[in-house]
Amino acid sequence: MSKEKWANQIKTKKEKDVAVQEKRKKFYNIFFSNPFLNFKKKKKLKKKERQNEMIWNNFFKKIVEKKKLIKSLFDKYFYIVMLDVKTPWKQERQVCVDMQKIVQMKNKELEKKIIELTVEIDKLKVCFYFFVVVICLINIVGMFNKKNQELELKADLEQITILRKEKVKKVNIDNLLLLVCLFGFVNFFRVPSIKTGYLENEKRSLLGDLNRLQTELIYVKTQNEDLNKNIDAIKSGISETRTYKHNIASQLGKKKYLLKYKDDVKRLKEELSEKETELQKEVEAKRASDQHRHSEQTKMKKKKLKYLKKQLKYQKSNFKEELHSVKAQAKADLYSLAEKNGQRRIIRGSNERIVKLDDELNEARNTGENLSGKSTALSDELKVIKKEKADLSGHVEKLKEELKEKELSAQNAESEASNKINKLEKELVSRKEISTNEINSVYASNRKLSDQIDCLKKEFYDKSSKRISFADKLRQAIDDIVTLRNSESSLKGQ
């Protein structure tokens, strides 16, 4: 959907909203303008109306804000998406169009500013000329006043000195002079009116010539100042034209240089776009292959883990059976030892009998020689019993040694089983750690690939921005050349 269609849809929606609001206002006006309603009802209805109006106003404000937000977001992201979708040629064309529009807008603004500045300059010129004329007139009047004052002061001083020196001597002469002056004054007023009018006209003409000459002098001075300013401006313009010519020559050289390498730039752009597409394809293929390989590795490792778990269970069951068998053998050995303990009791009984027999022998020895036969018999029995005792003690010691050996073997078997279980558990933990590390390495490689892809995208966007900036610089250089040529033509015309 283009921006124009979107704008038209928004306009139609706004028009519909306005029509709905007008209908609602008409309905409220008709309803609340009924004279038959009571005053209290009117008050209640007015309150409700205000509440409804507040609610509707808030609702419409929210809708308008949402529409503005949606429009701004749409304008922003739609423009970005279109830039992403467009080809580089279309992007450059769009950039050219946008730059042309911006330049046109700036030209219009500059024209407006130039017109305003020319009007202000004309006003300032008029004010300046008027101010200069007034200052010149004030200076001239001041000069004349100063000269008149100086002359009057000189005349007064001379007259005072003359009067002080010759006051007493020339009183009569002064009286005569006064009389002469009075006579001349009377004769002056007796002169015909034609001569006085002629003299006044001559005086006026002379004053007019004087004023005209003064104005011409001021005008000539201003012209001289303007000519000096123009000469300075021409000198600065000549220096600027020289600099402009130098800049034009350098820019023409740059233009030739750029035109030479324009085809190379196009070719490099095409190669860059091809390499970028190939790189993207390679990255996607590598990513797919890595994902497939990592998925297969994870599957194989999961199978290995399952197999190891089964082996552990089987070995645990075997060790449990061996432990049960060892325990059963130990119990049997304990039973045999118990039986042998019974034999020990018999030996103890025989020992007790031996002690008793010894006592009896001692008694018999004490009793006499009659009992010698009995003693010999008893001694024989005693020897036999001692032999049996020695045999039984040796057998008991053998049984003790066998029991110790079996206990040691059982302990060794238990320790070996526990060591094997610990080893298997450690192997399982290590395998789990290895599998987790490999999975993490897979995720890390995936992240690295995604980061590489993002970096490539950023490089692509940076290169596109560099192209745009390069195109802008070219346009600016062309515009500068055009402006310099126009300035040269205007200077030549002057």
CA-CA distance, 273 to 91, in Å (whole number)?
14
Supply the range of the domain harboring residue 488: 263-493
The C-alpha angle 206, 209, 211, rounded to 5 degrees, equals 110
pLDDT at residue 93 is higher than 50? yes
Domain end, chosen from 64, 85, 106, is at 85
Q: How many CB atoms lie within 10 A of CB 244?
A: 19
Q: Counting beta carbons within 10 angstroms of the beta carbon of residue 467, is it exposed (0 to 12), middle (13 to 18) or buried (19 or more)?
A: middle
The C-alpha angle 233, 235, 239, rounded to 5 degrees, equals 115
Nearest one of 421, 419, 435, 422 to 306, comparing CA atoms:
435
CA-CA distance, 67 to 191, in Å (whole number)?
101
Q: What is the DSSP letter of 292?
A: H
Per-residue exposure over 407-445, b if at least 16 CB sit within 10 Å of its own CB, e if not: eeebeeeeeebeeeeeebeeeeeeeeeebeeeeeebeee
What mean pLDDT is predicted for residues 276-302? 72
Domain end, chosen from 41, 68, 85, is at 85
Q: How many CB atoms lie within 10 A of CB 464?
A: 17
What mean pLDDT is predicted for residues 112-117? 75
For residue 65, tell me if it sits in a domain: yes
For residue 137, tell me if it sits in a domain: no
Phi, psi dihedrals of residue 368, rounded to the nearest 5° = 150, -175
**pTM for this model (two decimals):** 0.22
Q: How many residues does the chain have?
A: 494
pLDDT, tens digit (0-9, with 9 covering 90-100), for 192-206: 444 445 556 666 666
pLDDT at residue 174 is higher than 60? no
pLDDT, tens digit (0-9, with 9 covering 90-100), for 412-433: 766 776 676 667 667 767 766 7
Contact 75, 3 (CB under 8 A): yes
Six-digit token string for 376: 């010999």
CA-CA distance, 68 to 75, in Å (whole number)?
10
pLDDT, tens digit (0-9, with 9 covering 90-100), for 2-50: 556 555 666 566 677 777 777 766 665 555 554 444 444 455 556 767 7
For residue 23, tell me if it sits in a domain: yes
**Maximum CA extent, the chain:** 227
pLDDT, tens digit (0-9, with 9 covering 90-100), for 434-464: 766 766 666 676 677 667 667 766 776 676 6
Contact 467, 91 (CB under 8 A): no
For residue 335, tell me if it sits in a domain: yes
pLDDT at residue 68 is higher than 70? yes
Domain end, chosen from 85, 107, 125, is at 85
Nearest one of 223, 232, 194 to 132, comparing CA atoms:
223
Phi, psi dihedrals of residue 321, rounded to the nearest 5° = -65, -45
For residue 34, tell me if it sits in a domain: yes
- How far apart are the two ends of the chain, measured CA to CA in Å? 55
For residue 366, tell me if it sits in a domain: yes
CA-CA distance, 308 to 455, in Å (whole number)?
42
For residue 172, tell me if it sits in a domain: no
The per-residue DSSP string of 126-185 comes to HHHHHHHHHHHHHHHHHHHHHHHHHHHHHHHHHHHHHHHHHTTTTHHHHHHHHHHHHHHH
Sorted by sequence, the CB contacts under 8 Å of residue 372 that are 6+ apart come out as none
CA-CA distance, 7 to 71, in Å (whole number)?
9
CA-CA distance, 254 to 250, in Å (whole number)?
6
For residue 350, tell me if it sits in a domain: yes
Contact 218, 133 (CB under 8 A): yes
Contact 384, 367 (CB under 8 A): no
Contact 456, 283 (CB under 8 A): yes
pLDDT at residue 130 is higher than 60? yes
pLDDT at residue 264 is higher than 50? yes
Least trusted range by pLDDT, from 185-199, 266-280, 308-322: 185-199
255-261 contacts, C-beta under 8 A, 24 or more apart = 255/477, 255/478, 255/481, 258/474, 258/477
**How many structural domains is the chain composed of?**
2
CA-CA distance, 143 to 136, in Å (whole number)?
10
Angle separating helix axes 88-166 and 372-493, nearest 10 degrees: 60
Least trusted range by pLDDT, from 163-177, 231-245, 248-262, 453-467: 163-177
CA-CA distance, 10 to 5, in Å (whole number)?
9
Sorted by sequence, the CB contacts under 8 Å of residue 480 that are 6+ apart come out as 247, 251
Q: Decide which of 180 and 235 is more confident.
A: 235
Q: How many CB atoms lie within 10 A of CB 132?
A: 14
CA-CA distance, 168 to 103, in Å (whole number)?
95
